[in-house]
C-alpha cells in the first residue's frame, strides 16, 4: 500500500466564553498606542501546531492528528476549542507503510 505525507494543522484557542488574558494584555497595549491599534476592535490568541503525518488519505491524516491531540491532552476541552484541518498535502509518496 502506498501512503502519502500530509501536513495537518491544529489551531487551539479559548472558547468565546473563556477569558483570554494574553489577548487582553496585547489589546490594551494596542489601544494605549492609538496610532498602532486604532482600527483593531478585538483580539483572541491561540496556539498553532503543524504535524507532518504519513497516512493513506487526507481524512486518515486528519483523524490521526485529532486522536493524537485528544489522547495527549494538548488542550483543555472545557476552555479550549480545537480546529484540525489539512494544511497541504505533500507530493511525497511513501511505499511500505
Residue 65 sits in a domain whose CATH number is: 3.30.1280.10
Residue at 22 is within a domain:
no
Boundaries of domain holding 9 = 2-16+45-95
For all residues of the chain together, what is the average pLDDT? 87
Is 31 within the bounds of a domain? no
Distances (CA, A) of 16 to 46, 49, 67, 89: 12, 20, 24, 31
Percentage of the chain exceeding pLDDT 70:
88
Q: Which of the four pLDDT bands, split at 50, 70 and 90, describes residue 71?
A: very high
Residue 18 scores a pLDDT above 60? yes
> Residues 48, 7: contact at Cβ < 8 Å?
no
Q: Determine what percent of the chain is predicted with pLDDT higher than 90.
A: 67
Please indicate, yes or no, if residue 36 is contained in any of the structural domains.
Answer: no
Is 33 part of any domain? no
- Domain assignment of residue 29, yes or no: no
Q: What pLDDT shows up at residue 39? A: 82
- How many domains is the chain built from? 1
**The model's pTM:** 0.78
Q: Is residue 86 part of a domain?
A: yes
Amino acid at each position: 500500500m502506498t501512503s502519502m505525507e500530509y501536513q495537518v494543522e491544529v489551531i487551539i484557542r479559548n472558547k468565546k466564553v473563556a477569558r483570554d488574558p494574553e489577548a487582553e494584555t496585547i489589546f490594551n497595549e494596542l489601544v494605549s498606542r492609538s496610532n498602532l491599534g486604532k482600527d483593531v476592535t478585538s483580539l483572541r490568541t491561540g496556539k498553532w501546531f503543524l504535524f507532518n503525518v504519513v497516512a493513506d488519505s487526507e481524512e486518515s491524516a486528519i483523524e490521526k492528528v485529532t486522536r493524537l491531540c485528544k489522547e495527549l491532552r494538548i488542550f483543555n476541552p472545557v476552555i479550549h476549542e480545537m480546529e484540525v484541518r489539512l494544511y497541504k498535502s505533500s507530493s511525497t509518496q511513501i511505499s511500505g507503510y
